[in-house]
Structure 1
Amino acid sequence: MIKPTLVIQDLSAVSQISLTVAIAIFQALDLPIAVAPSTLLSTQTEGFGKPVSLDTTDWLEKSFRHWQKSQITFNGILVGYLGTVGRINQLSAWIRANQLKPVIIDPVMGDAGALYPGLDPAIVSAMQKLCQQADIITPNLTELHFLTGENTQDVTKLLKVASKMFGCRVILTGVKKGQYVNSYLLGAGKDNLTVASSSYYPGHFFGTGDAFSALLTGWYLKGFSLPMAMQRATKDLQIAVRQTATLSSKERKFGLKTAAMLQQILAEG
């Protein structure tokens, strides 16, 4: 029986990010996927002004009931941007009721030291509760600071606090160190860090966090250990970033160039 992995995050009509990229990655890895848009957007939320949005909360609730009635089960769940306290609480209740495994959460809330525009500050406490149901979370540094209440730059300390707080594996993503961008994973029951590094390219790249979490989830579901899945996700994402780096900042607003990355995944998978 086919058991797809459920991916729930935003869907932008314009821009190669979020659900659009996740679908392509899962297809390249030959993994069955089910999608649930947490919100529908006319464009991504940065670079095009305020997008037109469609709230899917009611649709999600009815879909949850339909899936249960139809006895559809899932091979885990990947959670990305949810956007409201209500949707976070809604999803938290559904995950708890269905006991999904694995639960992988990218707690999309902010970057560069601040919450994303338009988010209710109460989203932090709601996300903390959701992360307590996770097996793996993949925050950036800003999100990890919000989740833990710690302001330290000490990566090991942050990961220890978060691991204890949420009872799950924590991958800290997108940390710039000199000419590299690093992701960090604390060893299970140990003090050692696994570090995955990629070359730094100047400028902003939209959707890298979405792509990383989808790649990580995909390789993990293919049977790779979490450290190895992190390394492979980092290597694959580097290909997309390198290809996108040739574009102007105006062109980058449309998201990552993924053709070369997907070709590499097909060759490896």
Structure 2
Amino acid sequence: MSTVLYERNRTYIPRIAAVHDMCGYGKCSLTAAIPILSAAGCDVLPVPTALFSAHTKFPVFTMTDTTDMLSGYLDAWQQEGVELDGVYSGFLGAPEQVAIIQRLYEEHPGALRLVDPVMGDGGQMYATYTQELCDAMGALADGADILMPNLTEASILTGTEYLGNDLSDAQVDALLQALLDLGARNVVLKGIDHGDGRIRNFVAGADEGVGAKVELVHEKLPYMCHGTGDAFASALIGGVMAGLDLPGAARLAGEFVRNAMISTKHQPDYEMRGVSFELCLGELADLVD
């Protein structure tokens, strides 16, 4: 499988609308997407879906839903003639925000549709999510150039039982096929763990089929950090917009997150504070030297 989704012109800086929440404390979402994509040579245009004081794993946080402001926000973009090369969607604050993303698709038909269906992890939906919001999120799978779910999100999207992280090859194939059947053009399925000290991600495309899937294996570190999924998705998109093929971008993203986690371990309150990727941004900047 060798899928190049974007042919990079080295003198041109691609514009990516990042439709995600903004979190004040605990690095994730836009506070990951903006610096990571910028390091990869992209112009990041944030579309904030919610404003959080801290991410939702903290016992105390505030959330402000931005749904009511987004139509006017995009009206202003339209009047200014903003052009986009990609639409990257992540955490949503309300079901109605799916229509905001679909509006961007309609107004920018040539833009790549890059969907990280942020809904949950470890078999559980996130605290601010409802079944209605998850159902609405599923509409973004159809036509996605890249769909990047973890195993929890894949089970929600496909309406199948969450089976944990230790999936057999046959179960991986079935889940990849179910995701492609939703209408995604390419799928990156994250987080398969056989308990052997390694994490596996899989890449499959509708054109080549599940039989041509690519398995990417990375060292599993013996601790967790918040925000690794957002860092992975942002780095993957940065790789794609730098002209890497999809497996190459997914491999880059996996190693970027691993290296950032090693840096994170040296920071105070690292498990809750969020993945500290700052010292690893040069890996992405090297893509566009």
Where does residue 144 of structure 1 map in the other structure? 154
Deviations 1:78-130 (A, max 9, x none): 11101321212332244234325201000001111121123111122211112
Shift of 1:216: 0.7
Query: What is the alpha-carbon distance in structure 1 between the residues aligned to residue 221 and residue 250 of structure 2?
Result: 20
Query: Secondary structure of 2:54's match?
Result: coil
Shift of 1:258: 1.2
Query: Secondary structure of 1:150's match?
Result: coil
Shift of 1:212: 0.7
- 1:240-255 equivalences in 2 (<5 Å): 240-247=260-267, 250-255=269-274
Q: What letter is aligned with 2:203?
A: L
Query: Secondary structure of 2:46's match?
Result: strand
Runs of 4+ in structure 1 deviating by more than 3 angstroms, as ranges, are: 245-248
Query: Secondary structure of 1:103's match?
Result: strand
Match of 1:32 among 18, 38, 43: 43
Query: What is the alpha-carbon distance in structure 2 between the residues aligned to residue 66 and residue 2 of structure 1?
Result: 22
- Kept in 2, the 8 Å contact 1:78–1:103? The answer is yes
Where does residue 201 of structure 2 map in the other structure? 183
- Kept in 1, the 8 Å contact 2:41–2:238? The answer is no
With normalisation by structure 2, the TM-score equals 0.86
- 1:1-269 equivalences in 2 (<5 Å): 4-47=15-58, 49-151=59-161, 153=167, 154-178=171-195, 179-187=197-205, 188-190=207-209, 191-247=211-267, 250-269=269-288
Q: What letter is aligned with 1:87?
A: Q
Which of 186-195 and 160-169 deviates more? Answer: 186-195
Query: What is the alpha-carbon distance in structure 1 between the residues aligned to residue 105 and residue 40 of structure 2?
Result: 25
Q: What letter is aligned with 2:79?
A: K
Give structure 2 stretches of 5+ with no counterpart: 1-11
- Kept in 2, the 8 Å contact 1:156–1:186? The answer is no
Query: What is the alpha-carbon distance in structure 2 between the residues aligned to residue 110 and residue 170 of structure 1?
Result: 17
Query: What is the alpha-carbon distance in structure 2 between the residues aligned to residue 259 and residue 167 of structure 1?
Result: 32
Query: What is the alpha-carbon distance in structure 2 between the residues aligned to residue 193 and residue 204 of structure 1?
Result: 27
Shift of 1:202: 2.7
Q: CA RMSD in A?
A: 1.9
- Kept in 2, the 8 Å contact 1:18–1:210? The answer is yes
Q: What letter is aligned with 1:23?
A: I
Query: Secondary structure of 2:136's match?
Result: helix
Shift of 1:140: 0.3
Name the structure, 1 or 2, with higher relative contact order (CA <8 Å, separation 6+): 2
Number of matched residues?
267
Query: What is the alpha-carbon distance in structure 2 between the residues aligned to residue 261 and residue 66 of structure 1?
Result: 35
* Change over 3 Å in CA distance of 1:100–1:124 after alignment to 2: farther
- Kept in 2, the 8 Å contact 1:80–1:108? The answer is yes
Deviations 1:47-95 (A, max 9, x none): 2x23112221122111110111111111111111013212123322442
Give structure 1 stretches of 5+ with no counterpart: none
Query: What is the alpha-carbon distance in structure 2 between the residues aligned to residue 107 and residue 168 of structure 1?
Result: 15
* Change over 3 Å in CA distance of 1:131–1:204 after alignment to 2: same
Q: Percent identity?
A: 27
Query: What is the alpha-carbon distance in structure 1 between the residues aligned to residue 104 and residue 87 of structure 2?
Result: 11
- Kept in 2, the 8 Å contact 1:40–1:53? The answer is yes
Where does residue 6 of structure 2 map in the other structure? none
With normalisation by structure 1, the TM-score equals 0.92
